[in-house]
A = this chain, B = another copy of it.
Amino acid sequence: MTGPVTDPVTDPAPGPVTGAAGRRRTGRRPGDSGARDAILAAARRAFGTGGFAGSTIRGIAREAGVDPALVHHYFGTKDRLFAAALELPLDPTTVIPGLVAQGRDGLGERLARTFLGVWDGTPGQGPMLAMLRSAVSDPTTAGSLRDFLTRVVLEPLAGAAGAHEGAALRASLAASQLVGVAMARYVVGLEPLASASIDELAPPLGAVLDRHLAG
C-alpha cells in the first residue's frame, strides 16, 4: 500500500528539471511539460507498487514534487491519470461513455472496432501489453487492471446493458471477451485470429458483445 514516497523538501525530485531541459529545444513552456512528465513517472511508480486502490493523487503529487492541484489540473481524476500512465492513444474515460451514448444499436461492433483499433494502432502494443503481462504475474497490477476495467469499462457498459438484474455480470462477460481477444491476438498469436483484419473481426465480435450486454 505504501510505495516509495519522495519528500520534495529533503529530496527534490530531479524529474521536472531534467524534463524541462529536455523539452526546451522544442520550444514548449519548459515548466509545464516537465511537471507533467514527473507526475506521470510518479504515477507509474505508485500504481506499480501500491496498485490503483492503494495510490492517491496526493501521494503521487508528493512524489513528483508538485501540488496535488496541479495533478488535478493536468489529469482531472485518478482514472484519467491511470489511463494517461498507460499511454493509450485515446482516453477510455471519455471514449467508452461516448460509444455508449450513441445507443445500443451497433454498440458491440463500435466497441470491437475501437478496442482493436487502439491495440492495432499502438506499435508493439506498448504499455497495454506490459500491463497485461504484469497483471498475470503480479497480484497488485492485476488489482489495478481490475479496478480500472471496472470503473472505466464495466460501469458504463453495465449502464448500457440496462438496469435490470445481471447487468454487471453481463458487462464483465463482455469485458472477458475483449481481454480474451487481446490475449489471443497479441500475446498467444492464435491463428487465424491474430492475422485477421479489424473488418473481419468486428462483426462477429460485435454480435457476441451485443449478446453479452443484452443478455
Residues of A within 8 A of B (CB): 132-133, 135-137, 142-143, 145-146, 149-150, 154, 168-170, 172-173, 175-181, 183-185, 187-193, 196, 200-201, 204-205, 207-208, 211-212, 215
Contact = CB atoms under 8 A, between A and B. Distances in A.
B175 A190 contact: yes
A188 B179 contact: yes
Contacts of A189: 142-143, 146
Given A133-B136, A188-B135, A188-B145, A204 B172 contact: no
A107 to B, nearest CB: 15
A208 to B, nearest CB: 5
A191 B150 contact: yes
A168 B170 CA distance: 26
A214 to B, nearest CB: 10
A137 B142 contact: no
Nearest to A207: B211
Contact of A183 (B136, B168, B190, B205): B136
A150 to B, nearest CB: 7
A192 B180 CA distance: 17
B173 A193 contact: yes
Contacts of A145: 188
The 9 nearest A-B residue pairs measured at CB: A180-B180, A176-B184, A172-B193, A176-B180, A179-B180, A133-B136, A208-B208, A169-B192, A176-B181
